[in-house]
A and B are shown apart, each in its own frame.
Chain A
Amino acid sequence: MSNRNSILHIGVAAALLVAVASWTGCTGADVSTSGDAASRVYVAPGDYDEFYAFMSGGFSGQVTVYGLPSGRLFKTIPVFSQFPENGYGYSEETRAMLTTSYGFAPWDDAHHPELSQTNGVPDGRWLFINANNTPRVARIDLTTFEADEILEIPHSAGNHASPFITQDSRYIVSSTRFSIPIPNRDVSIADYKKEFKGTLSFVRADVPGEMEVAFQLLVPGYDYDVAHGGKGPSHGWMFFSSYNTEQANSLLEINASQNDKDFIAAVNWKRAEECVAAGRATNTQARYFHNHVGADRVAVTTIKNSVPVIKPSDCDGMIYYLPTPKSPHGVDVDPTGEYIVAGGKLATVIPVHSFTKMMAAIENEAYETVVDGIPVLKYEEVIAGEVMDAGLGPLHTEFDANGNAYTTAFISSEIVKWKLGTWEVVDRIPVYYSVGHLMVPGGDSQKPWGKYLVAMNKITKDRYLPTGPELAHSAQLIDITGEKMKLLLDFPTMGEPHYAQAIPSEILMQNSVQIFPIEENTNPYATKSEGATRVERQGNTVRVYMTTIRSHFAPDNIEGIRVGDEVYFHVTNLEQDWDVPHGFAILGMENAELLVMPGETRTLKWLPKKEGVYPFYCTDFCSALHQEMQGYVRVSPAGARTPLAYGTGSLKPAS
């Protein structure tokens, strides 16, 4: 730990030096932001950020945790991709997390983090996120910052409009960006219009370990894109944007941009619940996986075989379409629950629908037409207003607590601030470059904390030192406390953050777990004291029950392993002190290291292929004698008679 301390001291000294140097006017850094921007984002060494921000990793498949306003990266939480840094998706305890009905999926594309809510306010219990490629949703426990549950979504492809949440965390949703034959089968792609369908799924999310697809709506084969839940008066409704109402199956950039308007699907899920309860859904065969980390911290898979599917024609009043100009992307509900804001990728205005008008239009049956049993409401009957001159390519909108909306304009690279109700644009600020999502802390909830806005930009170009063809995506922190937005900070991100959520630090930090009590470790292969360490052979399977504590392994000498054995290192970290994980890696292994948290057991499978002596060591600098934390495994040829023996200090024969 002393090295960590000295590094800390050097860091502190450097930061202070920089701070002092800038007070004394020694630096010549040209900051293109307002003069006090540096002090607004400066979090002094040892101080804490105001907010935790959770950003999706996009094509990294993970979630990253940042502090705001500093923009400091604290952690990567592995979710949908293997993570050799700590063994997630490699260790025997975590591999099941990435299994799917398609097989073991080592990678996915994670898009939209969503915090759990109570009464419409993020509560800090869990963070949900979707996998876009192999459709799944995951729960991250915000006491451990670990993914502990993943549910596959059947009858789905391209799970993009997900996992947006209801204000009571009862449901998160999932949908098909890519419509497909349902059930999926061998059909001609040219039969798209006849055979391809979409699904809108509602996943029960409020009981940890028991996520389940409560029901799916079978809907026309459009591309369902983004969603957001109603709130307050509109609680009980979920809104999904769609495009490709043309139902093109090729060259969508042209063929799916023909119609003047596509749809926002407004789903009355409380009505759907009634219909399901009345037996109007069909339990349909579908094979999908539910992976869950149990109380023993071991992930297991349960295979599900059926899902309730309900058709709009079997449940009147369950779903309506709101015509919305030009391939809408984002659909965002303001904090009052009255306004439903759409971002049309190709539109020049931002259309805002009114929930009150929508309900009246439903009451009056103001239908333009009916598609597959779904009434299409008249545009002029539901529209509350259009924001003019809102930038080019409006995509996503978040809100503050003062009646302001902030919309990203992708093509014109800017954030546009406008007033709910008057639809008047009141400010705009350029961002660098091509902004996709934006995030205001609590900005999609009923009570935005406001203060900051984070723009998540798709193109970085010249904002940072060049790093070859691939550049980090750039996030930009903007102050929204005043009339005018002010750019405060650029910071790089991991993968591609599509969306983010933020929550005040004090809500989370007191709940953060520091250790796992060793006496409560129920991993079936845990070794709870050094005296219990041992090596056991059963046929070709060898189990090493190993412990770690600063700064040694027990056992640290093992003999009698043979080529062709299947060796399991069950490593239990006996430490009970915060921030003292131990690592484990062995020469030539073909998977990943293990990082074992205090009180936890993690297992690495090793298949020695050649005779020799194989050193192993602790990979996480743990103490002054960390470099001494090492050991040897002797591997003899297949069939050798080397007795199985192990020890720390002296070898003893295995019983």
Chain B
Amino acid sequence: MMCIVSIRRRGPHSRNENPYSSVGIARPGAEERPCQSDRNPANSFFPKSPAPSRRRPEPRPSNRSAIMRRFVHAATLIAVVFSIALTGCGKNDSATSQRTTPESQLTPEQLKNGIGPISSVTLDEYDEELADKGESIFTSKCSACHKFGERYVGPDLAGVLSRRSPEFVMNMMLNPAEMVEKHPEVKALLATYLTPMPSQNLTETDARAILEYFREKS
């Protein structure tokens, strides 16, 4: 038994030619080669329950720094690619791309308060109700990685408010991606803990409530 393999390119069919007609027929130029071988509903499973809405995206672009980063990387790559192109058509296997990270130029304010939407927080009298709300959000969205009194996936949060400003703490919750990328102290934390803190899609109100819970714990 023979298999017919053709890798020759064919021109367009003429209008009256049915391509079916060529099925299995070797065309001129086809190479002949031997073949390799002759060869229940889960209805009752779930009780009924009511309805969530679904979260829609913020309009893009959502993160200026991500765009800047992309821009910088793209610019670097374009430069590298052009330099390869300029060396002519020959192979240039040794070409490597060098990623450059822009020097962080944070203001003293950003160093203290972090990078993000929160520029100032006024701490009034401790609000127990708010702290309770914060605890429940923390339990759902943060406790898988943070504990008080021990290191877990992320740093021990005991005494966090004596180490960080309230603004820093809230910006870390609200803007973790940029904090991890740019803030020198958070970069250092990443080097220790290796897992970058993910965004948990908190609102400023959520973050403020969690801050109140941290006040309770400190």
A549 touches B89 (CB 8 A): no
* Residues of chain B within 8 A of A356, CB atoms compared: none
B84 touches A17 (CB 8 A): yes
* Residues of chain B within 8 A of A295, CB atoms compared: 49-52
* Residues of chain B within 8 A of A525, CB atoms compared: 46
Give min CB distance, B85 to chain A, whole Å: 4
When A and B form their complex, what is the total count of cross-chain residue pairs whose Cβ atoms lie within 8 Å?
197
* Residues of chain A within 8 A of B194, CB atoms compared: 624-625
Q: A299-B42, A512-B57, A574-B144 are in contact. List 14 more A-B contacts (CB 8 A).
A: A295-B50, A295-B52, A412-B16, A432-B13, A513-B55, A522-B50, A525-B46, A529-B140, A551-B153, A551-B195, A552-B153, A554-B144, A574-B140, A577-B201
Tell yes or no: A16 within 8 A of B by CB. yes
A96 touches B200 (CB 8 A): no
* Residues of chain A within 8 A of B56, CB atoms compared: 143, 510-514
Tell yes or no: A517 within 8 A of B by CB. yes
Closest to A143 in B: B54
- Chain B contact-residue range equals 35 or more
A298 touches B77 (CB 8 A): no
Tell yes or no: B141 within 8 A of A by CB. yes
A517 touches B97 (CB 8 A): no
Tell yes or no: A257 within 8 A of B by CB. no
Give min CB distance, A293 to chain B, whole Å: 11
A104 touches B40 (CB 8 A): yes
Which one of A391, A432, A524, A528 contacts B46 once the chains associate, using CB atoms below 8 Å? A524
Known contacts A510-B57, A625-B194: A16-B18 contact under CB 8 Å: no
Tell yes or no: A575 within 8 A of B by CB. yes
What are the 6 closest A-B residue pairs judged by CB atoms, nearest first?
A: A295-B51, A520-B52, A576-B201, A530-B144, A430-B12, A433-B19
Closest to B47 in A: A524
Which one of B8, B48, B51, B201 contacts A515 once the chains associate, using CB atoms below 8 Å? B201
Task: Tell me the interface secondary structure of chain B in the complex.
Answer: loop
Q: Provide the bound-state CA to CA distance between A528 and B139, in Å.
A: 8
- Chain A contact-residue range equals 35 or more
A9 touches B52 (CB 8 A): no
A577 touches B144 (CB 8 A): no
Tell yes or no: B163 within 8 A of A by CB. no
Tell yes or no: B199 within 8 A of A by CB. yes
Give min CB distance, A88 to chain B, whole Å: 13
Closest to A461 in B: B19
Task: Tell me the interface secondary structure of chain A in the complex.
Answer: loop
Tell yes or no: A414 within 8 A of B by CB. yes
* Residues of chain A within 8 A of B54, CB atoms compared: 143-144, 513, 516-517
Q: Provide the bound-state CA to CA distance between A120 and B41, in Å.
A: 37
Q: Provide the bound-state CA to CA distance between A624 and B196, in Å.
A: 9
Tell yes or no: B78 within 8 A of A by CB. yes
* Residues of chain A within 8 A of B202, CB atoms compared: 576
Q: Provide the bound-state CA to CA distance between A580 and B177, in Å.
A: 14
Tell yes or no: B101 within 8 A of A by CB. no
Tell yes or no: B26 within 8 A of A by CB. no
A529 touches B50 (CB 8 A): no
Segment of A19-27, A189-197, A365-373 in the binding face: A19-27
Tell yes or no: A623 within 8 A of B by CB. yes
